[in-house]
Amino acid sequence: DIQMTQSPSSVSASVGDRVTITCRASQGISSWLAWYQQRPGKAPKLLIYAASSLQSGVPSRFSGSGSGTDFTLTISSLQPEDFATYYCQQGNSFPRTFGQGTKLEIK
Amino acid sequence: EVQLVQSGAEVKKPGESLKISCKGSGYSFSNFWIGWVRQMPGKGLEWMGIIYPGDSDTRYSPSFKGQVTISADKSISTAYLQWRSLEASDTAMYYCAKHLCSDNSCYSYFDNWGQGTLVTVSS
């Protein structure tokens, strides 16, 4: 299985801050990566697919980059509704796997 | 509007069987892979497996193969997740979700999710 490792596991930030979350794959996955946001008690929401494509309806302050083994999710200016847990997921090979999650908390 | 509506919460005893469901609407159910994701209490997301309702082609994570059965009935646009014998460690929220297709390409990412089914296994 491909292991997906996110860092940090948690981060504290303030409204208006720029935040970057990293996801590293244990082997190359080209650009087969997605990012999800999960708010407490809710189903996950797809934010970014194919490493850098913004899902329809997702605000442009979210962006993704990377290829191969190293990927980043950037939120350019945090809004109150962005405080949530974020997961990466590889779509390169079976079984698909998620990262362990990064919890974004209010400072 | 695409919707995935899951069956309600379940409370079961160890050793009991269970089948939960996920009904799709607002899209061509047969033509999109649909999958299941487990989230244990306070933990992260785990990819369990997917099924293509059009021909019932199914892929499992090795972690779940033999432990659960994924199936689908395209005639009623419903996918299922089934256990023969539940264990306490199966206590979790289970989500169904469909794969994304965009600009004539389909991807192994989930763009629409059900609301989740909470399964509690306790003696």
pLDDT (tens digit, 9 = 90+) per residue, A62-97?
A: 999 999 999 999 999 999 999 999 999 999 999 999
Residue B81 — pLDDT band, cuts 50, 70, 90? Answer: very high
Give chain A's contact residues with B (Cβ, < 8 Å): 1, 32, 34, 36, 38, 43-46, 49-50, 53, 55-56, 87, 89, 91, 94-101
For residue A29, what pLDDT is reported? 97
Q: Is A36 in Cβ contact with B44 (below 8 Å)?
A: no
Average pLDDT, chain B: 97
For residue B45, what pLDDT is reported? 98
Residue B103 — pLDDT band, cuts 50, 70, 90? Answer: confident
Q: Are A82 and A75 in contact (CB under 8 A)?
A: yes
Q: Which residue has the tokens 């087969």?
A: A32
Residue B95 — pLDDT band, cuts 50, 70, 90? Answer: very high
Q: Is B49 in Cβ contact with A49 (below 8 Å)?
A: no
- pLDDT for residue B69 is more than 90: yes
Å between B48 CA and nearest CA of chain A: 8
Average pLDDT, chain A: 97
Rounded mean pLDDT, B90-109? 93
Nearest residue, CB atoms, B44 vs list A50, A56, A98: A98
Q: Is B60 in Cβ contact with A43 (below 8 Å)?
A: no
Q: For residue B122, with 0-12 CB atoms within 10 Å meaning exposed, 13-18 middle and 19 or more buried, which class applies?
A: exposed
Residue B104 — pLDDT band, cuts 50, 70, 90? Answer: confident
For residue B41, what pLDDT is reported? 98
CB count within 10 Å of CB B29 equals 22
For residue B8, what pLDDT is reported? 98
Rounded mean pLDDT, B109-115? 97
Å between B60 CA and nearest CA of chain A: 7
For residue B52, what pLDDT is reported? 97
Taking only the tens place, the pLDDT of each residue in B42-57 is 999 999 999 999 999 9
